């Protein structure tokens, strides 16, 4: 962020707006997951808090192991964000889409359309996907190949967004000219993965390009993010790993000739918030008491690189020989299994605690406290080189979102750490990002 007085950026993930036990809490309205009204309420609470953006994660499959006890059913991101675009006016709309299972022309026109209908609030969380192979009939490519395809995918999508000059649409009724076709050009791309002639069939959108977001954390993932991402989502259970990631990404971004200040780095943060610390702990205990440990073990095994943890004592630590030897050789994900391995090897770690971590906040930064305590912790990370803000992963809803917006945000605003109103109307305005010129 431009180094005038820095203020935090806060995005909110609304994919599974309840950590995995919380949907069973009395107050949770998770059962309304297919109603637009449910999502509009969440989006409008977030916009009331002047949050930068809403984020929808996605994986193109229904996890059969999780179907019974987890709220797996979800609306497709671009469809949901398009609907939310009509019920909100400022908040950014970031959706996940895969470069492994989509085509550049399709995604380029979908995000350009979302950017047009939202008045410039679209963002794309670029994933190479580690799930979904069975629904697309293609084997999961090795990680380097997935990122190589993603690299070309971004080049093609960007060229398509730039295939119209900003002033190509003229609508000159007298002359009978709708578009100045001298300002629209094919891209004629032919590469290892894609052959795309173009141009795009929609004029250049308000932001030029949707904001590009990425969440890879392995060496290859970080390299990709350093070249393309304007907003980076991270996963860090403690301030030390957040500072390591933040510092390393700034070095990598500078090393490829980009300005680190033009990239916003947001670790996930999953807080249990109560009006008092005691209340927050009560909510956490309630959510944890609703966890299904048998199902939790299955999920943890997957997140740790598809290892076998069966037959182990819940209240003992995981024996090191049951942990993945080298996470850098894993084909689907590398960074998250490494994060869990580090947590499993930490003193005092038990299998039960690992399952709670996995099901309640998936290894992200977890907080429990009053609004004042939550604000203090966010300020500590923000002012000590660990982040530019957070990607809020609500641990309990709707109460956790309401108390964050109505009690934590005002504290951050009083401390001059968060905006009191939106600076502009586009997501790029909120993030202080320049609008890219058509190349």
| Residues near ligand FMN, by CB under 6 A | 57-59, 96, 125, 127, 129-130, 143, 215-218, 221, 233-235, 268, 333-336, 391
Q: Nearer Cβ to ligand FMN, position 238 or 317?
A: 238
Token duo for residue 207: 């932001």
Strands (E), 165-234: 169-172, 177-179, 189-190, 195-196, 211-214, 231-234
Helices and strands per DSSP (H, E), number in the chain:
15, 13
- Work out how close the CB of 140 gets to ligand FMN at its nearest, in angstroms, rounded to a whole number: 11
Q: Nearer Cβ to ligand FMN, position 279 or 332?
A: 332
Residues 6+ apart with CB under 8 A from 339: 235, 237, 241, 363
- Work out how close the CB of 95 gets to ligand FMN at its nearest, in angstroms, rounded to a whole number: 9
Structural contact between residues 393 and 13, judged by C-beta atoms closer than 8 angstroms: yes
- Work out how close the CB of 438 gets to ligand FMN at its nearest, in angstroms, rounded to a whole number: 28
* Residue in the structure block whose two tokens are 């398509």: 160
CA distances from 386 to 69, 238, 246 (A): 34, 9, 6
Q: Nearer Cβ to ligand FMN, position 276 or 306?
A: 306
- Work out how close the CB of 391 gets to ligand FMN at its nearest, in angstroms, rounded to a whole number: 5
Residue nearest to ligand FMN (CB): 221
- Work out how close the CB of 346 gets to ligand FMN at its nearest, in angstroms, rounded to a whole number: 20
Q: Nearer Cβ to ligand FMN, position 221 or 371?
A: 221
Q: Nearer Cβ to ligand FMN, position 268 or 371?
A: 268
Chain Cα centroid distance, residue 159 = 24
Q: Nearer Cβ to ligand FMN, position 215 or 283?
A: 215
**b (16+ CB within 10 A) / e for 65-78:** ebeebbbbebbebb
Structural contact between residues 308 and 322, judged by C-beta atoms closer than 8 angstroms: yes
Q: Nearer Cβ to ligand FMN, position 103 or 286?
A: 103
- Work out how close the CB of 41 gets to ligand FMN at its nearest, in angstroms, rounded to a whole number: 22
Strands (E), 36-142: 53-56, 92-98, 122-127
Strands (E), 85-144: 92-98, 122-127
Q: Nearer Cβ to ligand FMN, position 28 or 335?
A: 335
Structural contact between residues 377 and 408, judged by C-beta atoms closer than 8 angstroms: no
Q: Nearer Cβ to ligand FMN, position 255 or 314?
A: 255
- Work out how close the CB of 258 gets to ligand FMN at its nearest, in angstroms, rounded to a whole number: 19
- Work out how close the CB of 234 gets to ligand FMN at its nearest, in angstroms, rounded to a whole number: 6
Q: Nearer Cβ to ligand FMN, position 127 or 359?
A: 127
Helix, strand, coil % over all residues of the chain, rounded to 5: 40, 15, 45
DSSP-assigned beta bridge partners for residue 283: none
- Work out how close the CB of 222 gets to ligand FMN at its nearest, in angstroms, rounded to a whole number: 7
Structural contact between residues 107 and 127, judged by C-beta atoms closer than 8 angstroms: no
Token duo for residue 215: 């969440």
- Work out how close the CB of 333 gets to ligand FMN at its nearest, in angstroms, rounded to a whole number: 4
Distance CA 425, CA 268 (A): 25
């Amino acid at each position: 962020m431009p180094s005038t007085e820095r203020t935090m950026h806060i995005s909110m993930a609304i994919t599974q707006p309840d950590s995995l036990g919380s949907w069973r809490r009395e107050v949770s309205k998770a059962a309304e997951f297919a109603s637009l009204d449910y999502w509009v309420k969440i989006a409008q609470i977030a916009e009331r808090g002047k949050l930068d953006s809403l984020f929808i994660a996605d994986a193109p499959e229904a996890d059969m192991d999780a179907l019974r006890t987890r709220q797996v059913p979800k609306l497709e991101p671009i469809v949901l964000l398009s609907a939310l675009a009509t019920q909100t006016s400022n908040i950014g709309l970031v959706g996940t889409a895969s470069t492994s299972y989509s085509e550049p022309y399709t995604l380029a026109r979908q995000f350009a359309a979302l950017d047009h209908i939202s008045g410039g609030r679209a963002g794309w969380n670029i994933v190479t996907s580690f799930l979904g192979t069975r629904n697309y009939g293609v084997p999961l490519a090795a990680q380097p190949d997935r990122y190589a395809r993603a690299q070309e995918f971004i080049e093609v999508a960007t060229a398509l967004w730039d295939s119209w000059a900003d002033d190509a649409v003229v609508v000159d009724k007298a002359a009978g000219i709708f578009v100045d076709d001298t300002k629209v050009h094919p891209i004629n791309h032919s590469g290892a993965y894609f052959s795309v002639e173009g141009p795009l069939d929609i004029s250049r959108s308000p932001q030029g390009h949707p904001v590009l977001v990425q969440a890879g954390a392995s060496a290859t993932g970080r390299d990709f993010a350093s070249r393309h991402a304007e907003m980076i989502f991270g996963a860090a259970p403690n301030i030390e790993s957040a500072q390591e990631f933040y510092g390393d990404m700034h070095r990598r971004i500078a090393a490829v000739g980009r300005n680190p200040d033009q990239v916003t780095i947001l670790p996930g943060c999953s807080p249990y918030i109560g009006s008092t610390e005691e209340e927050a702990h009560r909510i956490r205990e309630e959510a944890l008491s609703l966890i299904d440990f048998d199902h939790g073990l299955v999920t943890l095994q997957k997140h740790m690189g598809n290892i076998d943890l069966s037959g182990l004592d819940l209240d003992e630590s995981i024996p090191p020989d049951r942990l993945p030897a080298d996470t850098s050789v894993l084909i689907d994900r590398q960074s998250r299994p490494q994060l869990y391995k580090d947590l499993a090897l930490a003193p005092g770690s038990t299998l039960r605690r690992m399952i709670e971590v996995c099901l309640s906040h998936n290894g992200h930064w977890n907080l429990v406290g009053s609004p004042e305590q939550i604000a203090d912790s966010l300020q500590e990370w923000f002012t000590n080189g660990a982040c530019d803000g957070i990607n809020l992963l609500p641990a309990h809803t709707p109460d956790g979102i309401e108390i964050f917006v109505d009690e934590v945000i005002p504290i951050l605003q009083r401390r001059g750490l968060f905006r009191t109103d939106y600076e502009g109307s586009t997501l790029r305005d909120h993030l202080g990002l320049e609008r890219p010129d058509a190349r």
